[in-house]
Structure 1
C-alpha cells in the first residue's frame, strides 16, 4: 500500500512534545498550506499519481441535485456504473487496497459479500466559518493532559495538519456535524438468518457554540450536548439518555444520565462510556462504537502509521434512498452490498493499542480515517487474544444542501457470531436529518430529560 513518507518522520518531534506535557500547534508558515497545497481541512489537494483519486476542487455545490420534501437528497451520481466489483473470487487482485477487516468479510461470506467500486468523487466541504475556525485551530489548538484534552480549540477539526495518531483521532471526535442536528433513525441487530426487530431512536445533538443561549464568557469544558430517546418498540419506548460530552474527559469525565421509563427516574449513567454496552444493541456494540468511535482516548496508545489508498464506502446516496425499505437493506450476514458504493480514497491509518493496566474488550483497534472529512471509514477491532473480532464500516455521504459530511449508515460485523449491527437508517422515516435546529442549555438539562420521558 502507498504510504506518505513525511507522515512517518515524526517520532522525534512527538517525543519532544510529550516531554513538555503540552503538544504545540503547527507554525504559521506550515498553516499557510491550508487552502493551497492542502484543502482547507488539511487533505492533500492533489490527486494521486495515476489519476484514480482526482484533485479536490471544492466539493459539491449546495445545489448539486434535488432535495425532496422530506429532506432526502437526490444522487448526483445515479447514472454511474461500477468500474468493477470485488468478490471472493478476485479479491487477491485488490488486497493491497483493502483493510484486514474487509479481507476477513470476504473470507467469512465468500458467496455473498461484494464491493462495487465506482469512480472517486471528492465531494465534501464545510461552511466558510468552519473553515476559518479550522485555520485558527491549526495555529492555536494544543493537546493537554497527556493528549487527553484540548486547549485553545474552537469550532471543529482541532488539528488539520496532524503530527501524530492522537491528533488524527481528535479530528474525528471534533469534526463538523452541522452545529446542531435532530434525526429519527433505526438500529437493527439481525440474527444469522437475517431476521430482525428494529429499534428507533429520536436523536438530537448541539455543539456548545450553537446553543441558542450560548455565552462565550461562560464557556466550559463541554464539546457538545446530546439526547437520545427510544421511540420504538413499545417495550423500550420512553427511555432517554442525556450526555454532556467533555473536551477533557480525564479531568472531567463525560456526564451522562438516563431516564428509565419503567422506574420513572433520572439516574447518573457512568456506564455510557468506553466498553459499556451500547443502547439496545443486543451486546453487539460498545458505547464507544457509536459514531464509529467516540469518547475519551486515554485508555489507548495511538500510533500514526501514515496514509494509504483504500476502497471505502463513499457517496452512499443510493443506500439512503427513501424508496428503499429496511428489508431491502438488511440481509443475512451483512447488508445488501448491491446498494453500497465504494471509491478509492486516501485515509490516515492509526493503530490504538490498549495501555498496560487499562481495561477494554478491544485490545487493539486499527482506524482508517478519510482525509477529506476526518471521518472514520473503517475500524478493525481485536479481542484480548489479538484476534480480529469485529469490523466497523461507515457508509458516508455528503449532505450537500447543508454542507455537512456525515454517515448514511454505520455497520459493525461480528466475525465470530456471524451477526452484525446496522445503525442510522432513515429510509422509512418521515424526514431526513434536520440540521440547524434551535436548542438552548435547558433542553439538555436533567429537568428536560425527565419531561421527555414517557412510559
Structure 2
C-alpha cells in the first residue's frame, strides 16, 4: 500500500517549499520517465498491487466510446453496478481511503449520505500535442517569486510540472490544466435550503486560454486566460456579466475583473472577485477561489506535498451528467442524491495549503487531493481559523472523450456547520451544455463589450 506520509512515485525528488525564489525544472533523464513508467502527465502507468487500480493504457478515446445523436455523451460503463456502497454504518472499514471531509459527511448525514463504489477505469487523456507540450514543460518551466509565477511556460493549457518537486507546482498543475482550449457552457448553480428547495441560477460561461483566441499573435505575456460569465436566469439577476483577465503572476499583476450590472447599466471594476471574495450568487456558500474547486493566485498559502495515497474519489460520473435526470432528481436536502454518483479507487496527490503568517483568508488550511491522471482537484477539505473542518469540496470527474478533455459533471461544496451545500456545473436540462473549441476573438473579452453582453 502506498504510504501517503512519504512522497513516492511520479519522480518527486524534493519536498521542501520554495524558500528560494526559483524552482528548477527537472533533468532530461527525469523527464524521459514520461515516456516509460510515467504517463505523459506524470501519473504512474502501472496499477496497484491488487489490481483494484488498473494500469493506464492511453485513456478513453472517442473511437471506443458511445455518444448520442444530439452530441451528448453516453455512459461507457452503464452496465456496471456498484461493487459496494460506503455508508455511515461501514465507513470505518474504508477510512484509510477517505478524506476527513468525506468521513465528516457520513457523520453529518448518517441516514442519507453514501458513496457507491464502482470498478476503477483510468479514462483520462489529453490530445497528443498537449502531451508533447507537457514533456517540453518538464525540462523548461519553473516557478519564480516564491512559486507565484511561471517562467518559460509558453504552451498555455498544458501541464507545467508533470514531475512536481514542491507543493505549489502541483497546485499550478490544477490551475492551468487542459480543459479543451476554449469552452462555452450553459450550466446551473444551486444553493438548496435546509429542506432541499432551490432556485437554479443559470450561467453561460466562456473560458478561453490566451493562446486560443482567433487573433492570437504569438506572445501571451502575463495573460493566462479569459473568463466571461453571463447570468441567464432567474429574471432578477439576468443580464449581469462578469469578465476576468487571469494573469499568470498575480502578485506582479493582480487578476483583472469587471462586472456589468444590468439594473444599473454600468460596468465597474471588481477587485472582490478573488481569494475569499463572495462567489457569484452563491448565498455565501462559496468564495471566489472555490470556483473550479480552486482557482487564482496561490500566494497566500504555503503548499506542501504530503505524498500520494489511494483514495475513493468521484470518477466517470456520466450518470450524473445524463439528460435522463432532472435537477429536481439530483438536488436534495443536505447533498446531491448519491444514487447518481460514482466513486472509484484512484491514486491522488495530497497537498496541504497553510495560510501564511499575516495573510488573510477565511480558510486557514486547505487539504487538496489531486487526481494523478488529470491534476484535477477531486476533493478539498477546508478548515477555518480555529482549525475546525468547515467545508468539503468534491469534483465529480468525467472524461469528455470526443475531444480528449478531462473535466467534471459537477462540483459540490458542503458546509458541515450549516448543513447546506452548493452544487455548480449541472447541465442536465440544457439543450447545449458544453461546447469545446469555439472560435472567439480577444475583442469579445474587453470591458467595453460587457454592455452588449449584458442586454437582457
TM-score bin, normalised by smaller chain: over 0.9
The question of whether the paired residues in 2 share the 8 Å contact of 1:7 and 1:163 is answered with no
Residue 380 of structure 1: how far off its partner (Å): 0.3
Number of the residue aligned with 1:431:
432
TM-score (norm 1): 0.97
Superposed counterparts of 1:258-273, under 5 Å:
258-273=259-274
Superposed counterparts of 1:114-153, under 5 Å:
114-153=114-153
Superposed counterparts of 1:104-253, under 5 Å:
104-153=104-153, 154-155=155-156, 156-216=158-218, 218-253=219-254
Residue 35 of structure 1: how far off its partner (Å): 2.2
- Is the partner of 2:93 in helix, strand or coil? helix
Name which of structure 1's ranges 3-12 and 430-439 shifts more when overlaid on structure 2.
3-12
Residues 148-182 of structure 1, C-alpha deviations (whole Å, 9 max, x = no match): 00011123111000011111000000100000000
TM-aligned CA distance change 1:9 to 1:62, over 3 Å: closer
- Is the partner of 1:428 in helix, strand or coil? coil
Residue 63 of structure 1: how far off its partner (Å): 2.2
- Is the partner of 2:29 in helix, strand or coil? helix
The question of whether the paired residues in 1 share the 8 Å contact of 2:10 and 2:43 is answered with no
Aligned length: 453
Superposed counterparts of 1:294-313, under 5 Å:
294-313=295-314
- Is the partner of 1:63 in helix, strand or coil? helix
Residues 347-381 of structure 1, C-alpha deviations (whole Å, 9 max, x = no match): 00000010010100000010000000000000000
Number of the residue aligned with 1:454:
455
- Is the partner of 1:106 in helix, strand or coil? helix
The question of whether the paired residues in 2 share the 8 Å contact of 1:71 and 1:433 is answered with no
Distance 2:397 2:187 in 1: 15
Number of the residue aligned with 1:65:
65
TM-aligned CA distance change 1:132 to 1:73, over 3 Å: same
Residues 271-295 of structure 1, C-alpha deviations (whole Å, 9 max, x = no match): 0000000000000000000000000
The question of whether the paired residues in 2 share the 8 Å contact of 1:71 and 1:432 is answered with no
Distance 1:274 1:8 in 2: 32
- Is the partner of 1:327 in helix, strand or coil? helix
Number of the residue aligned with 2:277:
276
Superposed counterparts of 1:382-397, under 5 Å:
382-397=383-398
TM-aligned CA distance change 1:345 to 1:124, over 3 Å: same
Distance 2:94 2:2 in 1: 13
Distance 1:49 1:288 in 2: 37
- Is the partner of 1:401 in helix, strand or coil? helix
Taking only aligned residues, the RMSD between alpha carbons, in angstroms, comes to 1.6
Residues 18-75 of structure 1, C-alpha deviations (whole Å, 9 max, x = no match): 3541110000000000021000000000000111000000001212333224321000
The question of whether the paired residues in 2 share the 8 Å contact of 1:240 and 1:453 is answered with yes
Distance 2:69 2:61 in 1: 19
The question of whether the paired residues in 1 share the 8 Å contact of 2:173 and 2:375 is answered with yes
Structure 1 alignment gaps of length 5 or more: none
Distance 1:439 1:110 in 2: 48
Distance 1:378 1:187 in 2: 19
Runs of 4+ in 1 over 3 A off after TM superposition: 4-15, 17-20
The question of whether the paired residues in 1 share the 8 Å contact of 2:242 and 2:257 is answered with yes
- Is the partner of 2:312 in helix, strand or coil? strand
TM-aligned CA distance change 1:274 to 1:414, over 3 Å: same
Distance 2:286 2:69 in 1: 34
The question of whether the paired residues in 2 share the 8 Å contact of 1:222 and 1:247 is answered with yes
Distance 1:38 1:165 in 2: 19
Query: Quick check: 1:37 aligned with 2:28?
Result: no
Residues 251-285 of structure 1, C-alpha deviations (whole Å, 9 max, x = no match): 00001000011111110100000000000000000
The question of whether the paired residues in 2 share the 8 Å contact of 1:8 and 1:305 is answered with no
Structure 2 alignment gaps of length 5 or more: none
Number of the residue aligned with 2:94:
94
Distance 1:324 1:12 in 2: 46
Superposed counterparts of 1:331-342, under 5 Å:
331-342=332-343
Distance 2:81 2:45 in 1: 26
- Is the partner of 1:33 in helix, strand or coil? helix
